[in-house]
Structure 1
């Protein structure tokens, strides 16, 4: 089994433990700002919980995601008739029912992007009452939620839809915070060979934001440690990251800058254009001296000696 470092392994273990403890009655939800590794941690935890990657199915909610896609809906068949088609949840739930000796996970990315009450429907109640069947809207067939099926999810707590979650929905979640983590940042970047001085400076960026915005840090930090996952070289990677991503998270047209902007700009030296291009290699000085025999290409030495 691959190990991902002490801090990352601790978070993965926390999620697995929550699935063990509450996966039969609640949605296990990882909440964190973009770039905190929620998806990575959730995916690894799901595979470890099931002991089999093929027993994990991943989907992503979005604004137009519907009950018909998730539970069941109507589709036209080839003869212009209408048939009832099970959605993603009912398909995966049925597989779990037919295979009761193994654990199944449905991993939902961006949980709060969809209209949850509309998408989940009856599931809102019957996730925690799995011994009681519910009747679906279209097929009118009784369905029980499999006891060996766990719903694992990720979401950004600052999304408007997440802020508007009602207490009935929150009560059905077991929320695990996934904040920006300097230790996970260090583990991630040390494996890439990035200079320790640079890693330390990036860690200080996060610590400075935490120190100045202690109560708001975990929920309002505009990005997490995962934003730096692709950094391999200080120059020009960190300048490009600023120009192409970070500045757009802080300053957007027609709206106020992010509250952390001043602190981040102060602690991110790679904003400066001097970090855009690596320093050129020094050129060798030209020489007019004739090469010695040891410096000649193969064959040239023999020719020179023969000419003598």
Structure 2
């Protein structure tokens, strides 16, 4: 029985390139993978390093074989840990269980059949094939050499809530203080993200959408379980999920390889680690053609228990329940088409607007907690009153500890705020510098009356 927080893995041993390695495993206390052409990789290599190593050392193998090897190596080298359960079936289809007791190591072995190893303490008993649950038998028959069988092998090892969506960590006061927002608002965001699994932070420029998404993701998941991508008008399904890319083959003809994009990489890692959240941040979500980028994944955003046949791989694919998407949208960019109803139905939206909580008053709170002059907050309020609700800008432009210096404030206004406003009013014939220049906005901020001074 595996302990809470540990995993269980089936490693194929009875048919390794035609050889039965299981008796050797059992008698000498280890489990192994054939990796004769792979150079030793220190630490716990990520998918990118593994894929690069396989591309170099196994270039003669077809794409499907290389991808299978990458998945097996990733699970064996990176996801598998000491204390995990490992199982294998012998030539008589009996199931043997053991416990991983050492890190992965590269050693010499005859014909390179077992040169990547982990030490294992094997149990003395074995379970006959006819006594195994049907679902576990199905998992044992998978073509991959390393398969996660945690939920099938040991139901008691499941964390609360079973194999469903992992519970997201509630926001802390420290996170709220870092973002200068209320814990209650963050709690709503996390609660809905945990239920919906896809949210969008939208609002005008300067409202901290991307920063909030990054801080929230880092709170919910480990750093290596967070990935960020930025959409743009030419971004495609092939960039996002998978597509064919040219492969360098020297002076020979150009070959095409099927390459995984960030969405598929995150999904693969999440499937290997089902009890922990993985977060993909999609910055500027609405700058791309969303139906084109998501393709058949549109369906999986709404039906996480379902599966679709992939466009290029032509194999069934499910989006793991522990994958969470956080998108950001700039609502002031008029070059962007509105998000269609299908996408809006699949995401929950949280608006970050200067006139609404949690952004309203954020700059003043930020300045006050740092004992800085509050003039920038007064200027921003006056500017937004002049701009009107359609063109307001957010406080992050002025969240600079040097805004108390007159020269720094002038530079921010001239080179960051006014260019944004010039773009917003492009083609309307307005003199942005005259209407919204710093001197003019300062003149609109009411000076303190004589009665406000000390008595």
Give the TM-score category using the shorter length: 0.7 to 0.9
Q: 1:208 aligns with which of 385, 396, 411?
A: 385
1:167 aligned residue (341, 344, 352): 341
Which whole-Å deviations, capped at 9, do the CAs of 1:255-288 have from their partners, x for residues lacking one?
Answer: 11679988755862289xxxxxxxxxxxxxxxxx
Specify the alignment match of 2:239 in structure 1.
69
Q: What is the distance in 2 between the residues matched to 1:269 and 1:44?
A: 33
Q: 2:225 aligns with which of 38, 55, 65?
A: 55
Q: Name the CA distance, whole Å, in 2 between partners of 1:147 and 1:258.
A: 50
Report the secondary structure of 2:244's partner residue: strand
Which range is displaced more, 174-183 or 200-209? 200-209
Per mean C-alpha deviation after superposition, the further-off stretch among 223-232 and 156-165 is 156-165
The answer to whether the 8 Å contact 1:61/1:112 transfers is yes
Q: How does 1:219-230 map to 2 (within 5 A)?
A: 220-230=390-400
Whole-angstrom CA distance in 2 between matches of 1:179 and 1:254 = 22
CA 1:268 to 1:75, structure 2 compared with 1: closer, same or farther past 3 Å?
Answer: same
The 1-side partners of 2:431 and 2:195 are apart by 38
Residue number among 99, 102, 106 corresponding to 2:280 in the alignment: 106
- The Cα of 1:30 is off from its aligned counterpart by 0.3
**Distance in 2 separating the partners of 1:145 and 1:259:** 50
Q: Map 1:226-245 to 2 at 5 A.
A: 226-230=396-400, 232=402, 233-245=404-416
- CA distance, structure 2, for counterparts of residue 75 and residue 207 of structure 1: 47
Aligned length: 259
Q: Structure 1 unaligned runs (5+)?
A: 272-308
Q: Could you tell me how far 1:175 is from its partner in structure 2?
A: 0.7
- Shift in alpha-carbon separation, 1:254–1:134, aligned structure 2, 3 A: closer
Which residue of structure 2 lines up, in the alignment, with residue 185 of structure 1?
A: 363
Change (3 A) 1:143 1:270: farther
Query: What is the RMSD of the two structures over their aligned residues, measured on CA atoms?
Result: 2.9
- Relative to structure 1, the CA distance from residue 121 to residue 5 in structure 2 (aligned partners, 3 Å threshold; closer, same or farther) is closer
Deviations 1:38-94 (A, max 9, x none): 1111111112222x2321111111111111111110123343322211111111101
Distance 1:115 1:179 in 2: 25
- Structure 1 or 2: larger helix share? 1
In 2 relative to 1, CA 72–179 (structure 1 residues): closer, same or farther, beyond 3 Å?
A: same
Q: Does the Cα contact within 8 Å between 1:15 and 1:45 map onto a contact in 2?
A: no
**Distance (Å, rounded) in 2 between the aligned partners of 1:94 and 1:202:** 48
Contact 1:31 1:154 in 2 (8 A): yes
Q: 1:6 to 1:138 in 2, by over 3 A?
A: closer
Secondary structure of the equivalent of 2:227? strand
| Length-normalised TM-score, structure 1 | 0.74
Question: Mean Cα displacement is larger for which, 72-81 or 28-37?
Answer: 72-81
1:6, distance to aligned residue in structure 2 (A): 5.2
Q: Structure 1 residue 200: deviation in Å?
A: 4.7
Query: d(CA) in 2 for partners of 1:200 and 1:33?
Result: 17
**Deviation at 1:20?**
1.6
Unaligned runs of 5+ in 2: 1-173, 445-455
How far did residue 36 of structure 1 move? 0.2
CA distance in 2, matches of 1:249, 1:118: 29
- What does residue 327 of structure 2 align with? 153
Taking CA–CA contacts closer than 8 Å with sequence separation of 6 or more, which of the two structures ends up with the larger relative contact order? 1
Question: Distance between the aligned counterparts of 1:267 and 1:187, measured in 2?
Answer: 25
SS of corresponding position for 1:223: coil
Correspondence for 1:269 among 432, 442, 452: 442
Paired position in structure 1 for 2:7:
none
Question: Contact between 1:12 and 1:41, CA under 8 Å: does it hold in 2?
Answer: no
Shifted more, 260-269 versus 140-149: the winner is: 260-269
Which stretch has the larger CA shift, 226-235 or 98-107? 226-235
Q: What is the DSSP-based 3-state SS (H/G/I as helix, E as strand, rest coil) of the residue aligned with 2:343?
A: helix
